């Protein structure tokens, strides 16, 4: 018989993403609205291992909507991959009387949540939150829009100095093994080239295109490179060798993970956080709160764990078409 859900736990795990706080707020207040008890779990799955739990009320999530980071803190927790450690977590979950868990995070977070469901039978819901936007089953993750905007703002500034000095820049963005950030940032910055791990690139052809651009009167060139596409310093050195021009590298790094979430990231956090709680109450037991073609849907969690999301090749090509 299906267990009535009266008490949920909420945690954030993996790399933080702007909008995680907004998602915590949405989960906590949606649950309180349905008269559920809410327990906050500190430091993601590590907090389950150590029973680092505290009760959450409406005020505990006051004034956090606009703040970057996560008030519940987050760690990467390799111990959770071992069953012997997970058994401690299961004991603590039972001891605290949790009937379900909402996990806010990315791919690793989704995989761990699914494992908990499979081994313990606990209903779990994932709110996809990651700057990388690489979770299968949702068109967008909480935090992606903010990271893209942060990178675009930074690269616009790089364009100013690149134009003054008539230079070529390689701007490296995050994204782990995927090019979602790079692809969108490249298009929005009018980059001359975008390098992503999903598409093999030929530096000889890229240099020829840069050369043509310069002959047509371009005074600067920006190559947006995903961190997973290789070593940005080696790419810069190779362009220097071929074009006999100095190339500068700017690694944007962790600024992409911080800052106040954009309205879009807050909106997604509110809708997906609320959907996660509703999905659990409707009887979903392993669910991804997702946005698909502008609709908010309770998607099955297993495909999100097993399958790989693909980049939009048309959008990728468009950057090159528009960089004439």
By CB under 6 A, name the binding residues for ligand F6P. Answer: 15, 76, 106, 130-132, 174-176, 227, 257
Nearest to 25 by CA among 267, 210, 310: 267
Strand partners, 299: 288
Q: Which is nearer to ligand F6P, 256 or 319 (CB)?
A: 256
- CA-to-CA distance for 203 and 121, rounded, in angstroms? 51
Q: Tokens 């701007």: give the residue.
A: 171
- CA-to-CA distance for 313 and 324, rounded, in angstroms? 18
Parallel, antiparallel or unpaired: strands 100-105 and 7-12: parallel
Instruction: State in angstroms the smallest separation of the CB of 148 from ligand F6P.
Output: 12
How far apart are the two ends of the chain, measured CA to CA in Å? 63
Instruction: State in angstroms the smallest separation of the CB of 229 from ligand F6P.
Output: 12
Q: Which is nearer to ligand F6P, 174 or 187 (CB)?
A: 174
Q: Which one of the listed residues 132, 134, 202, 312 is annotated catalytic?
A: 132
Q: Which is nearer to ligand F6P, 128 or 273 (CB)?
A: 128
Instruction: State in angstroms the smallest separation of the CB of 276 from ligand F6P.
Output: 20
Q: Are 126 and 141 in contact (CB under 8 A)?
A: no
Q: Can 132 be counted among the known catalytic residues?
A: yes
Parallel, antiparallel or unpaired: strands 53-55 and 168-173: unpaired
Q: Which is nearer to ligand F6P, 192 or 227 (CB)?
A: 227
Instruction: State in angstroms the smallest separation of the CB of 302 from ligand F6P.
Output: 21
Which sequence positions are flagged as catalytic? 132
């Amino acid at each position: 018989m299906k267990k009535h859900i009266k008490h949920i736990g909420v945690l954030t795990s993996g790399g933080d993403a702007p909008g995680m706080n907004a998602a915590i707020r949405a989960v906590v207040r949606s649950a309180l609205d349905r008269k559920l008890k809410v327990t906050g779990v500190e430091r993601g799955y590590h907090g389950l291992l150590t029973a680092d739990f505290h009760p959450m009320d409406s005020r505990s999530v006051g004034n956090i909507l606009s703040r970057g980071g996560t008030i519940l803190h987050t760690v990467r927790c390799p111990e959770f991959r071992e069953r012997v450690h997970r058994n401690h977590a299961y004991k603590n979950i039972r001891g605290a009387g949790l009937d379900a868990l909402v996990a806010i995070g990315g791919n690793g977070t989704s995989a761990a949540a699914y494992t908990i469901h499979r081994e313990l039978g606990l209903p779990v819901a994932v709110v996809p939150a990651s700057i990388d936007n690489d979770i299968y089953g949702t068109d967008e993750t909480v935090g992606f829009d903010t990271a893209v905007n942060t990178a675009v703002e930074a690269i616009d500034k790089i364009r100013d100095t690149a134009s003054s000095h008539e230079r070529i820049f390689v701007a490296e963005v995050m994204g782990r093994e995927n090019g979602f950030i790079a692809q969108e940032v490249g298009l929005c910055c009018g980059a001359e080239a975008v390098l992503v791990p999903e598409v093999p690139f030929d530096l000889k052809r890229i240099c020829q295109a840069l050369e043509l651009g310069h002959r047509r009167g371009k005074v600067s060139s920006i190559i947006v490179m995903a961190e997973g596409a290789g070593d940005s310093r080696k790419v810069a050195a190779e362009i220097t060798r071929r074009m006999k021009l100095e190339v500068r590298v700017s690694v944007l790094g962790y600024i992409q993970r911080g800052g106040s979430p954009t309205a879009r990231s807050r909106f997604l956090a509110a809708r997906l956080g609320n959907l996660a709680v509703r999905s659990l109450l409707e009887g979903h037991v392993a669910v991804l709160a997702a946005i698909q073609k502008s609709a908010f849907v309770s998607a099955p969690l297993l495909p999100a764990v097993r399958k790989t999301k693909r980049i939009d090749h048309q959008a990728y090509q468009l950057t090159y078409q528009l960089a004439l």
